[in-house]
């Protein structure tokens, strides 16, 4: 969508520098994108506290992240159509208002269902702000000033997810996790003011609403939503032993079938899936899907490890995660030159190697790990992210004809977030099952090795008895201590396996990078999301 707008702008005669009104609009779009990307990760550091107050288990807590991503996935391909229907000004102002209202709902939530509804609403509204920000840069700035706008947008897209955990952790530790959501209210107020001042009223196109690819829209919404619920709830419902899961699975299949049928019947399908028949483009999408899965899973798992195992508070967890942003900021000035001079396949393979290495190094983390133990893994994560994602976005644009660049960008963005949504859904099931397995295995080992167990219990009980003088109480304390140690060790083993699986999945993508194509000279740098 943004690329198509840029191509159209290129046909226009050169114009003077952008006006103050143009820059206000561009900054407003960037602010909306920052708010949307920030809210993807702002809850990660605060997730343990949120789960505790709304009565959600660790597995149920994945819905706080999954719900946002699921809604964003559905909205991204719908944004261009809805912009035509309502008009750009009305659409953006409406989304800013909705984002505020759903943020308030999240902030006042007392139960998990309330939080999920709020996050779904945030995802729908936020999902529209990111592609529209790219459109505003491409349409309101002259060609010679567009690199400034795209660089600003690129920094914001990187800044949001990185600042999210730090800001969320700081607000949680010093105030309350609820301010992670209330923070959006003054930002939305400023956004509304700038949009009202900078954008002219535009008429909507209700014919576009009537003539829309309704089969594809319904199929996309129903199919992806039902699929995510199946993945998320399947383990708790014992998968296909549950009629609820069977029904949702059939609904997901029906939705995807409608989407496929729409590809044949509609002249302008909401998602142009035929692009995936291009092996190079399909390779990009496959890699982006796995990378999105890896990045979002790491962003979810790491704060959980830091809080539950290493004993870090939310602010400390955010500071650890912020380290992954250093390589991105350091490389931003030179990255456009690297993309133009270095083979895309080499850059992507190096990026995937860094991401996989980060995950495999994280396997060595233990309950005794401190801040410096996370430095290498986070720096490698940040380096891999910037070296893989930026060239992948360029490769996706070079794989398709110019007139299909907008559709390609929509599929690219959807694939990354879909990878994150599916990854988080599967992650909850994996962690729950492996934690139970390791906990049971360790308990069996302790009972079998009764001599060692009894020796440790006797030593612990003796220590507690010396402190309190109550033998029965001391023995209970010793048993409780041993059970706690077993639980922590089971969690460490589970997280280690999680990082291993993510690392191997990223390494398996390396051969796909060989199908990529180097972008032609002059391809404008686009950041993707």
Q: Tell me which of 206 and 252 has the higher pLDDT.
A: 252
Burial class (CB in 10 A: 0-12, 13-18, 19+), 260: middle
Reported as a single tens digit per residue, the pLDDT across 254-287 is 998 998 888 888 777 877 888 888 888 888 888 8
Q: Tell me which of 65 and 291 has the higher pLDDT.
A: 291
Give the pLDDT score at 387: 84
Kindly report the CATH class assigned to 271-431+498-529: mainly alpha
Q: Tell me which of 451 and 503 has the higher pLDDT.
A: 503
pLDDT at 520 over 60: no
Chosen CATH of 1-212 out of 1.10.4080.10, 1.10.3720.10, 3.40.50.10140, 1.20.1250.20: 1.20.1250.20
Q: Residue 104: which residues within 8 A CB-CB, separation 6 or more? A: 181, 182, 185
Q: Two tokens at 126?
A: 């936020």
Which sequence spans correspond to the domains of the chain?
1-212, 213-269, 271-431+498-529, 436-492
Give this prediction's pTM: 0.72
- Average pLDDT on 175-189 reads 88
Give the pLDDT score at 487: 67
Place of tokens 């460490």: 492
Give the pLDDT score at 177: 86
Give the pLDDT score at 254: 92
User: In whole angstroms, how far apart are CA 97 and each of 128, 133, 193, 202?
Assistant: 13, 16, 12, 18
Q: How confident is the model at residue 529 (pLDDT cuts 50, 70, 90)?
A: very low
Q: Evaluate whether 422 touches 224 at the Cβ level (below 8 Å).
A: no
pLDDT at 342 over 60: yes
> What is the greatest pairwise CA distance in the chain?
89
Reported as a single tens digit per residue, the pLDDT across 120-131 is 999 889 888 877
Q: Do 1-212 and 271-431+498-529 have matching folds?
A: yes
Count of residues for the chain?
529
- Average pLDDT on 388-409 reads 72
Q: Two tokens at 338?
A: 């690297």
Reported as a single tens digit per residue, the pLDDT across 38-56 is 887 787 767 778 888 887 7
């Amino acid at each position: 969508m943004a690329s198509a707008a840029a191509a159209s702008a290129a046909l226009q005669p050169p114009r003077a520098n952008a006006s103050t009104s143009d820059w206000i609009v561009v900054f407003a779009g960037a602010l909306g994108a920052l708010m949307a990307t920030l809210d993807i990760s702002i809850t990660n550091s605060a997730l343990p506290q949120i789960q505790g107050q709304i009565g959600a288990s660790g597995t149920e807590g994945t819905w706080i992240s999954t719900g946002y991503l699921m809604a964003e996935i559905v909205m991204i391909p719908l944004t261009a159509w809805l912009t035509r229907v309502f008009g750009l000004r009305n659409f953006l102002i409406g989304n800013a208002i909705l984002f505020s209202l759903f943020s308030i709902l999240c902030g006042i939530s007392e139960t998990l269902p309330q939080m999920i509804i709020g996050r779904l609403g945030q995802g729908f509204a936020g999902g529209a702000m990111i592609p529209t920000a790219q459109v505003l840069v491409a349409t309101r700035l002259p060609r010679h000033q567009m690199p400034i706008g795209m660089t600003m947008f690129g920094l914001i897209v990187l800044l949001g997810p990185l600042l999210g955990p730090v800001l969320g952790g700081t607000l949680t530790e010093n105030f309350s996790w609820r301010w992670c959501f209330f923070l959006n209210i003054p930002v939305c107020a400023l956004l509304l003011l700038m949009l009202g001042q900078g954008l002219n009223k535009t008429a909507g196109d209700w014919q576009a609403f009537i003539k829309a690819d309704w089969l594809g829209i319904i199929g996309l919404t129903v199919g992806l939503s039902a699929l995510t619920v199946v993945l998320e709830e399947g383990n708790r419902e014992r998968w296909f032993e549950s009629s609820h899961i069977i029904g949702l699975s059939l609904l997901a299949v029906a939705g995807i079938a409608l989407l496929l049928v729409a590809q044949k019947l509609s002249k302008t399908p909401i998602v142009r899936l035929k692009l995936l028949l291009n092996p190079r483009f399909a390779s990009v999408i496959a890699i982006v899907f796995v990378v999105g899965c890896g990045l979002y899973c790491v962003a979810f798992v790491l704060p959980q490890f830091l809080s539950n195992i290493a004993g870090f508070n939310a602010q400390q967890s955010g500071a650890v995660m912020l380290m992954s942003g250093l390589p991105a900021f350091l490389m931003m000035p030179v990255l456009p030159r690297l993309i133009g001079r270095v083979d895309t396949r080499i850059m992507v393979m190096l990026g995937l190697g860094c991401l996989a290495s980060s995950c495999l190094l994280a396997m060595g983390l233990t309950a005794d790990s401190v801040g410096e133990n996370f430095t290498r893994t986070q720096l490698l994560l940040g380096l891999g992210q910037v070296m893989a994602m930026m060239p992948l976005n360029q490769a996706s644009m070079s794989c398709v004809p110019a007139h299909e660049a907008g559709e390609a960008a929509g599929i690219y963005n959807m694939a990354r977030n879909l990878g994150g949504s599916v990854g988080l859904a599967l992650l909850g099931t994996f962690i729950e099952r492996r934690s139970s397995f390791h906990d049971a295995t360790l308990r069996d080992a302790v009972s079998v090795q009764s001599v060692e167990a009894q020796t440790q219990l006797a030593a612990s009980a003796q220590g507690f008895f010396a402190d309190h003088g109550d033998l029965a109480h001391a023995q209970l304390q010793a048993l409780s201590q041993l059970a706690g140690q077993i639980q922590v060790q089971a969690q460490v083993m589970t997280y280690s396996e999680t990082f291993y699986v993510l690392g191997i999945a990223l390494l398996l993508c390396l051969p796909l990078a060989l199908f990529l194509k180097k972008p032609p000279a002059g391809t404008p740098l686009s950041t993707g999301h």
